[in-house]
């Protein structure tokens, strides 16, 4: 494989990853915005437990650990305002931490 072909392939993979991340961020922001707007009429503070194996948005809008060439800061600020006005606190939870430890399987065979 030539250096040019390898560079082209790497660039394609990076652009594909960035596109998929953009889509995940857009869907996550849209879902959180919809939830906030839906519950905004209920009085008091609301807690949202967001169970996901990954959260495509850095919780600090000034830090984007997924792709430094992408800036989701404006979207995060707008979302934070909508969630704040609706008094919704979001708690992302990794379901990997909720798994039970595996118990070794025993066999009924006798060992001689």
Confidence of residue 64 (pLDDT cuts 50, 70, 90): very low
Q: Where are the domains of the chain?
A: 3-96
Return the sign of the alpha-carbon dihedral for residues 26, 54, 76, 42. positive
Averaged pLDDT for residues 76-85: 93
Beta bridge partners of 103: none
Averaged pLDDT for residues 65-74: 67
Averaged pLDDT for residues 64-71: 59
How far is it, in rounded angstroms, from Cα 89 to Cα 32? 11
Confidence of residue 75 (pLDDT cuts 50, 70, 90): confident
Burial readout 25-63 (b: 16 or more C-beta within 10 A, e: otherwise): beebbeebbebbeeeeeeeeebeeeeeeeebbbeeebee
- Burial class from Cβ neighbours inside 10 Å (0-12, 13-18, 19+) for residue 88 reads buried
Structure tokens at 44: 């008091």
Least confident of 7-16, 28-37, 42-51, 54-63: 54-63
Is the per-residue pLDDT at 37 higher than 90?
yes
How far is it, in rounded angstroms, from Cα 90 to Cα 94? 13
Q: Determine the pLDDT at residue 105.
A: 67
pTM of the model: 0.68
59 vs 98: which has the higher pLDDT:
98
Confidence of residue 45 (pLDDT cuts 50, 70, 90): very high
Structure tokens at 107: 């066999």
């Amino acid at each position: 494989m030539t250096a040019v072909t390898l560079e082209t392939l790497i660039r394609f993979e990076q652009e594909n990853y960035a596109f998929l991340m953009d889509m995940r961020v857009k869907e996550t922001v849209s879902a959180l915005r919809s939830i906030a707007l839906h519950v905004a009429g209920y009085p008091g503070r609301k807690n949202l437990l967001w169970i996901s194996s990954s959260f495509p948005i850095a919780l600090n809008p000034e830090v984007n650990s997924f792709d430094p060439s992408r800036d989701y800061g404006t979207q995060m600020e707008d979302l934070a305002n909508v969630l704040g006005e609706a008094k919704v606190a979001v708690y992302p939870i990794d379901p990997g931490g909720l798994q039970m430890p595996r118990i070794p399987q025993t066999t009924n065979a006798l060992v001689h």
